[in-house]
């Protein structure tokens, strides 16, 4: 049996010298495989890289026939190399030809070789290639050899990335992956156009910081960073326990256990001892966690891997000097690129002057998407593997009108989009001219257009859009952007500011709506298999009565002689609303007894976001002053289609007979019960969807600021009586596409749905 290689650290030091050389891409890769083969005492060392055609091409080898380079290609599921690319896991075999996945390629001349060790080359959570070593005799590769080869694969990933960037040689001759222009398709989340340079939300480890110059110093840095990480998690747990009472701390405890796992820490330290910097050692762990996450199917495993990746990122930020902050400063006008992003994380970029946002995962109805619309950031989502297809600093055009991402566009394309930006600006001028006009149909029916808000800067849009008030103020944003719970005074001052800025126009405050993808940093939420259907909104508030009453008390004090409008989110049964209202009245009574100013008058309503509540409205008669239909959650529950799953978010039409009939039932029942009703979901801000709602009988719509102008323009172009009658005729039919017939009706009556 051949002896094992002498020193992982020696190998990494030699690799550092190779990376510092002035060799071109192909020469550098050839030097790397020779170095690995010699140091690991292997007869063969080979590198296979993933091509644009999703094949694995042999690009460098020491030991196999040189003529096989650029000739041998395997599909992503072919052979042992394909198996590694599929599993993203190392593979060590004593006698490779006997393995059922072995694929023989005669041009390589690999007949004499038996022992095989291969590891994935990972970048951005994606397998971009495979690194292998082979020996003539049958042998077992030990754990140290496997771990060292994984470390080398990480370094090779960065070598490849640098060589495929602008000015690089290797792969530029084939795919030019990081040089040529590309256009990717995504889903429009927040409309608009943005042009800027790419920056990553996730921390990036520069290639120059991959190697440890002083092992002992790097080990101390790691130990200090781990201490800070664990202390920050302890503080989060203490805050949740002391301020919120009895919490589901077992979930957070599991998170803390991951951060305190001696095996994880030992593995990070081992990477440093083998020659990596502290950052590079953590990055290696992160790459492995990401790759496993991509292929994981079990919900519990995915949750744990998500936690692990989050811990890796936190530790990297601490090592970078940011003490676990969620992001580092970025240049104004940048395009933020992220695999996934929570609403709280996006809010922390609210003052960064982002020109646009690109997301790999979230659907258009996610709460991060809602925040993006509130901030007016052009956003597209569902852009698969975008983080592996571009580099920080690349010029990007985000066309959130058409759902397209242009990577490294040429000057002509940029000029064309600059012209489109000017056109959009001209379009907004048309809408601004309607600011002081009424949202009234041609036959004299007035529609109340309100604003969705949640941030201080949102309130500024009231005057510039001509909205009649705020139909939905999302109070949870104040909680999401804070590392600790806002105090009673902080909440009261914030709500008072919003009412002052509204200048007498009504503001409908939705009480705390957390859960699902809206997670407070100051509270340990349980990991749930389907959080959209879990412990959230009014369920959370009623179970955390102290927190809920503090918010109600702040709202009552903030009103101080002014009208107060409060609504409770995601009410499912009448008893939930009645319990919440009882707490509101108890706080109102408390304020009066203690001599605090109280609202001039108040209205308390319920958000209708679950189909169940539509059949309990009669039980709320005389109790609820109004009903607000939240179409985002209502439609996902109506269709049993999670709005966070991109593959089904656009499967079901909003303008279809089923949803229209259901929404018609709601408005008619509210009219019968003499209960005011409005709509505040995202559908209210889309001119076509808004028209359907108006035809059904809804007279109050709340929407993002950018939608007020287009919806008002549409309203002023219609004769509602005629359209409404024809819409109900269409509803009564049982054949044909309701949406297509509705669009034809709009065209027939010259409804202004967009500016040409």
> Sign of dihedral through CA atoms 655, 657, 662, 667?
positive
Enumerate residues 6+ apart whose C-beta is below 8 A from 90.
84, 117, 118, 119, 120, 146, 149, 150
Domains of the chain: 8-163 (3.30.450.40), 182-201+328-425 (3.50.30.10), 207-319 (1.10.274.10), 434-748 (3.20.20.60)
Report how far apart, in Å, the C-alpha atoms of 551 and of each of 330, 519, 722 are.
Answer: 34, 17, 46
Nearest to 534 by CA among 303, 240, 243, 290: 303
> What values do phi and psi take at 184, rounded to 5?
-115, 150
Per-residue pLDDT reduced to its tens digit, 343-392: 656 766 777 789 999 988 755 556 677 778 878 899 998 887 787 677 77
Per DSSP, the three-state class of 358 is strand
**Which residue from 494, 479, 145, 86 is spatially nearest to 292, judged by alpha carbons?**
86
Residues in the chain where the model's pLDDT stays below 70 = 1-9, 19-25, 124-125, 161-180, 204-208, 235-255, 290-307, 310, 322-329, 342-345, 347-348, 362-367, 388, 423, 480-483, 515-532, 644, 646-647, 755-756
**Rg over CA atoms, the chain:** 30
Q: Tokens for 634?
A: 């209502």
Alpha-carbon distance 429 to 748, whole Å? Answer: 27
What's the CA gap between 411 and 169, in Å, rounded? 23
* pTM: predicted TM-score of the whole model, two decimal places: 0.61
Burial environment of residue 600 by CB neighbours within 10 A (0 to 12, 13 to 18, 19 or more): exposed
Q: How far apart are CA 629 and CA 669, in angstroms?
A: 13
Nearest to 580 by CA among 616, 630, 618, 544: 544
Q: Which residues contact 607 (CB under 8 A, 6 or more apart)?
A: 510, 567, 568, 569, 570, 571, 628, 629, 630, 680
pLDDT tens-digit readout, 651-696: 899 999 999 999 999 999 999 999 999 999 889 999 999 999 999 9
Query: How many angstroms separate the CA atoms of 284 and 300, rounded?
Result: 23
Query: 555, 566 in Cβ contact below 8 A?
Result: yes
Give the pLDDT confidence score for residue 101 in this predicted structure.
92
- Non-local (6+) Cβ contacts of 698 within 8 A are 629, 663, 667, 677, 678, 679
Q: How far apart are CA 184 and CA 656, in angstroms?
A: 30
Which pLDDT score, from 0 to 100, does residue 172 have?
Answer: 38
Taken in order 56, 60, 61, 64, the sign of the CA dihedral is positive
Based on the number of CB atoms within 10 Å of its own CB, is 426 exposed (0-12), middle (13-18) or buried (19 or more)? exposed
Question: Helix or strand or coil: residue 586?
Answer: helix
What is the sign, positive or negative, of the torsion defined by CA atoms of 354, 360, 365, 366?
A: negative
pLDDT confidence of residue 191 = 86
Residue 754 to residue 427: CA distance in whole angstroms: 10
pLDDT value for 302? 57
Q: Is 82 helix (H, G, I), strand (E, B) or coil?
A: helix
Structure tokens given for 19: 């990376």
**What pLDDT, on the 0 to 100 scale, is given for residue 1?**
35
- CA–centroid distance for 450 within its chain: 27
- pLDDT (tens digit, 9 = 90+) per residue, 289-340? 766 666 665 555 555 666 677 678 778 888 877 654 445 567 888 999 987 7
Span 513-566, pLDDT tens digits: 876 555 555 455 555 566 667 778 899 899 989 999 999 999 999 999 999 999
Sequence-separated (6 or more) residues with CB below 8 Å from residue 290: 122, 124, 125, 309
Residue 163: predicted pLDDT? 54
Residues in the chain: 756
């Amino acid at each position: 049996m051949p002896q094992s290689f002498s020193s992982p650290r020696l190998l990494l030091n030699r690799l550092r010298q190779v990376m510092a050389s002035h060799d071109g891409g192909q020469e550098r890769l050839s030097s790397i495989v020779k170095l690995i083969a010699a140091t690991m005492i292997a007869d063969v060392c080979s590198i296979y890289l993933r091509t644009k055609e999703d094949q694995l091409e042999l690009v460098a080898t020491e030991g196999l026939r040189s003529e096989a380079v650029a000739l041998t290609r395997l599909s992503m599921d072919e052979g042992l190399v394909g198996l590694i690319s599929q599993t993203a896991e190392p593979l060590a075999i004593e006698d490779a030809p006997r393995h059922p996945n072995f694929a023989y390629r005669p041009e390589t001349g690999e007949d004499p070789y038996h022992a095989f060790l291969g590891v994935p080359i990972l970048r951005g959570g994606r397998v971009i290639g495979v690194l292998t070593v082979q020996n003539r005799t049958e042998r077992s590769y030990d754990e140290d050899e496997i771990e060292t080869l994984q470390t080398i694969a990480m370094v090779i990933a960065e070598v490849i990335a640098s060589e495929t960037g602008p000015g690089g040689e290797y792969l530029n001759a084939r795919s030019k992956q990081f040089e040529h222009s590309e256009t990717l398709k995504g889903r429009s989340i927040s409309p608009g156009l943005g042009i800027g340079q790419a920056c990553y939300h996730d921390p990036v480890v520069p290639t120059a910081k991959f190697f440890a110059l002083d092992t002992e110093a790097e080990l101390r840095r790691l130990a200090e960073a781990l201490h800070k990480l664990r202390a920050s998690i302890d503080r989060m747990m203490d805050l949740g326990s002391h301020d919120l009472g009895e919490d589901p701390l077992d979930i957070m405890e599991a998170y803390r256990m991951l951060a305190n796992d001696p095996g994880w820490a030992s593995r990070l330290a081992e990477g440093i001892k083998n020659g990596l910097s502290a950052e590079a050692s953590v990055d290696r762990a992160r790459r492995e966690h990401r790759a496993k996450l991509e292929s994981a199917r079990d919900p519990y495993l995915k949750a744990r891997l998500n936690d692990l990746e989050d811990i890796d990122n936190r530790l990297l930020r601490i090592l970078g000097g940011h003490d676990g902050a969620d992001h580092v400063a970025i240049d104004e006008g940048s395009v933020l690129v992220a695999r996934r992003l929570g609403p709280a994380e996006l809010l922390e970029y609210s003052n960064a002057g982002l020109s646009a946002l690109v997301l790999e995962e979230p659907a258009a109805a996610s709460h991060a998407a809602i925040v993006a619309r509130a901030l007016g950031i052009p956003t597209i989502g569902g852009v698969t593997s975008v983080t592996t297809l571009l580099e920080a600093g690349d010029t990007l055009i985000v066309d959130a009108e058409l759902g397209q991402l242009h990577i490294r566009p040429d000057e002509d394309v940029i000029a064309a989009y600059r012209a489109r930006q000017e056109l959009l600006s001209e379009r907004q001028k048309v809408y601004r001219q309607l600011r002081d006009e009424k949202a009234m149909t041609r036959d004299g029916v007035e529609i109340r257009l309100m604003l969705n808000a949640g941030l201080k800067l949102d309130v500024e849009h009231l005057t510039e859009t001509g909205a009649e008030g705020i139909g939905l103020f999302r109070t949870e944003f104040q909680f999401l952007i804070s590392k600790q719970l806002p105090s009673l005074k902080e909440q009261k001052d914030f709500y008072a500011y919003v009412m002052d800025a509204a200048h007498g126009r009504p503001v409908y405050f939705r009480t705390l709506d957390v859960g699902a993808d809206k997670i407070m940093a100051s509270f340990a939420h349980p990991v749930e298999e389907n959080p959209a259907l879990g412990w959230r909104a009014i369920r959370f508030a009623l179970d955390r009565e102290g927190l809920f009453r503090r918010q109600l008390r702040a709202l009552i004090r903030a009103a101080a002689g002014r009208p107060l409008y409060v609504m409770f989110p995601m009410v499912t049964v009448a008893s939930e609303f009645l319990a919440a209202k009882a707490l509101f009245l108890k706080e109102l009574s408390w304020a009066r007894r203690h001599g605090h100013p109280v609202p001039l008058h108040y209205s308390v309503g319920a958000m209708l976001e679950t189909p169940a509540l539509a059949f309990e409205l009669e039980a709320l008669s005389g109790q609820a002053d109004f009903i607000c239909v939240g179409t985002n959650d209502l439609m996902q529950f109506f269709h049993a289609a999670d709005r966070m799953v991109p593959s089904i978010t656009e499967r079901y039409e909003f303008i279809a007979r089923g949803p229209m009939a259901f929404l018609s039932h709601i408005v008619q029942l509210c009219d019968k019960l003499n209960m005011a009703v409005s709509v505040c979901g995202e559908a209210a801000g889309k001119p076509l969807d808004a028209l359907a709602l108006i035809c059904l009988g809804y007279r109050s719509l709340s929407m993002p600021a950018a939608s007020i102008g287009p919806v008002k323009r549409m309203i002023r172009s219609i004769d509602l009586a005629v359209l409404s009658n024809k819409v109900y005729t269409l509803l009564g039919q049982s054949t044909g596409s309701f949406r297509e017939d509705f669009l034809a009706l709009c065209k027939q009556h010259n409804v202004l749905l967009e500016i040409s």
